[in-house]
Amino acid sequence: DAKTTQPTSMDCAEGRAANLPCNHSTISGNEYVYWYRQIHSQGPQYIIHGLKNNETNEMASLIITEDRKSSTLILPHATLRDTAVYYCIVREETSGSRLTFGEGTQLTVNP
Amino acid sequence: DAGITQSPRHKVTETGTPVTLRCHQTENHRYMYWYRQDPGHGLRLIHYSYGVKDTDKGEVSDGYSVSRSKTEDFLLTLESATSSQTSVYFCAISVWTGPYEQYFGPGTRLTVT
């Protein structure tokens, strides 16, 4: 699986958009980009994934650059409950393939 | 929570004792995983299973064994617990949503004294 690089920490004001970057310059053509988050002491929670196109769901938007070497997770209106560690993971979509977690980005949403 | 439970949720044990953690799912998914997470770090894969009696090692499997005799249960055993195995253990399943997504259990906090 391709390695990812994320900032160690970020801050965001409540109600503003949180934009979390991820670099994955060695991503291959059949690897997806996944985002998970982990709120303190809880199990990681799936947020969103994408292959080439931008994606949006009820939680977030995922913007993938045209060359697929980087992506941005956008939380459009961050709340205090969005404070968590956010993990960007790239992997092939083989059957049941496991996730390789890096250190992630600690997002702190401030009142 | 995708119907995943873990037991026990907390356990304190002494060095050298065997410990078994249980992961139970209610939806008969094929793939199950055990991860450990140490303070300030991401999750690391211990073992995984792709079906009944079909298991394989992850990146940190030394000192751990697993068994899966039923689809719904995946057991993680520490044969002889050591202080370095003090950690939070998470179980996960893979669910096909085109492609696969992983869903995690609530975790088991294990302390080896």
Residues A47-65 have pLDDT tens digits of 999 999 899 999 999 999 9
A88: helix, strand or coil: strand
Contacts of A13 (CB under 8 A, 6+ apart): A78, A109, A110
Cα torsion A52, A99, B38, B27: sign: positive
Beta bridge partner(s), residue A49: A34
pLDDT at A13: 97
Preferred mutation among A99, A101, A106 to probe B, highest tally of B CBs within 10 A: A99
Q: Enter the DSSP assignment of B106.
A: -
Nearest-CB residue to B105 (from A43, A99, A103)? A43
B53 closest CA partner among B34, B73, B39, B37: B73
Alpha-carbon gap, residue B105 to B91, rounded angstroms: 5
B58 closest CA partner among B46, B68, B42, B74: B46
For the record, the structure tokens of A80 come out as 């205090």
Closest-CA distance, B105 to chain A, in angstroms, reads 6
pLDDT at B42: 85
Interface of B with A (CB under 8 A): 30-31, 33, 35, 41-45, 48, 50, 58, 88, 90, 92, 94, 99-107
pLDDT at A41: 82
Residues of A in Cβ contact (< 8 Å) with B43: 44, 99, 101
In a 10 Å sphere around its CB, with 0-12 CB exposed, 13-18 middle and 19+ buried, how is residue A55 labelled?
A: middle
- From first to last of its 113 residues, chain B has per-residue pLDDT tens of 568 999 999 999 999 999 999 999 998 899 999 999 998 788 999 999 999 999 999 999 999 999 999 999 999 999 999 999 999 999 999 988 777 888 999 999 999 99
The tens digit of pLDDT for each residue in A5-45 reads 999 999 999 999 999 999 999 998 888 999 999 998 899 99
A41: helix, strand or coil: coil
B39 → chain A, closest CA residue: A41
